[in-house]
Amino acid sequence: MTPSTSLSAPPRRTRRIVLVALILLVVAIGAFAVRRSLLMSAPRCLTGHWSGCYDTQNGVVLMTLVGLPVAALVARTLARRRPPGDLTPVRKSLAEVAMVYGTAPFIWMTMMPGSGAGIVPGRVSLVPLRDLATMGPIGIGGNLLVLAALGFFAPIRFAAMASLPRLLALGAGCSILIETAQYVLRLDRVSSVDDVLVNATGAVLAGLASRRWWRTGTAPADGGRS
């Protein structure tokens, strides 16, 4: 083992530990903040009922938290299946699982139909910033989180996403797809340009939070061999 390799190993391991600890801390804080609401859905979810669990935001969040050990196991399995020459198997696997697992529940919640689904025609709001006042702090915060996991982990996994303009485009594109689906499926929701703006902003802000772990696309000159 060369001296450069021995010196670079501890920082890489430290960054990995810090990243995992940060994720766990955010999850723990979020769960504590909404613990009372989550417990309201617990009886229906634990007995396997769809109504009152998977068709409610509290139920989806609760089951997402319950499924975290399974997601961690999937990430660990993917890391072990990486090719021997892969220098960052844990980071890549964690980012892949977290992108999907952290985004899917929010998309599920945004696609929940309203009481007039299938009856009320699709509604569109194309005037920027008009709907922000009606969202309120909770609505804005929720919209910021919809694509936050994608924005946080995409540049960690893919070097092509390690750019703020590309993250903005990714967030806006995904949000446009969600709003379009809401309109086409007639879910009794308003497809708003403000949702796109806030969703994309959330992806960019989350990306900035993970910037120190972004994948640069460069590799050690010796391929990591000692």
SS3 178: helix
Q: Are 120 and 114 in contact (CB under 8 A)?
A: yes
Two structure tokens written together for 57: 């935001």
Contact 147, 203 (CB under 8 A): yes
Q: 125: part of which helix (H) or strand (E)?
A: strand 123-125
Angle between helices 68-80 and 57-66 (to 10 degrees): 50
52's tokens:
């009152």
pLDDT in tens, the chain (226 residues): 444 444 444 566 777 777 778 777 877 787 777 777 778 888 888 888 888 899 999 999 889 988 989 999 999 999 999 998 888 898 999 999 999 999 999 999 999 999 899 998 989 999 999 999 899 998 999 999 999 999 999 999 999 999 999 999 999 999 999 999 999 999 999 999 999 999 999 999 999 999 998 987 654 433 444 3
Ramachandran class of 152: left when φ > 0, alpha when ψ lies in -120 to 50, beta otherwise: alpha
The pTM is what?
A: 0.81
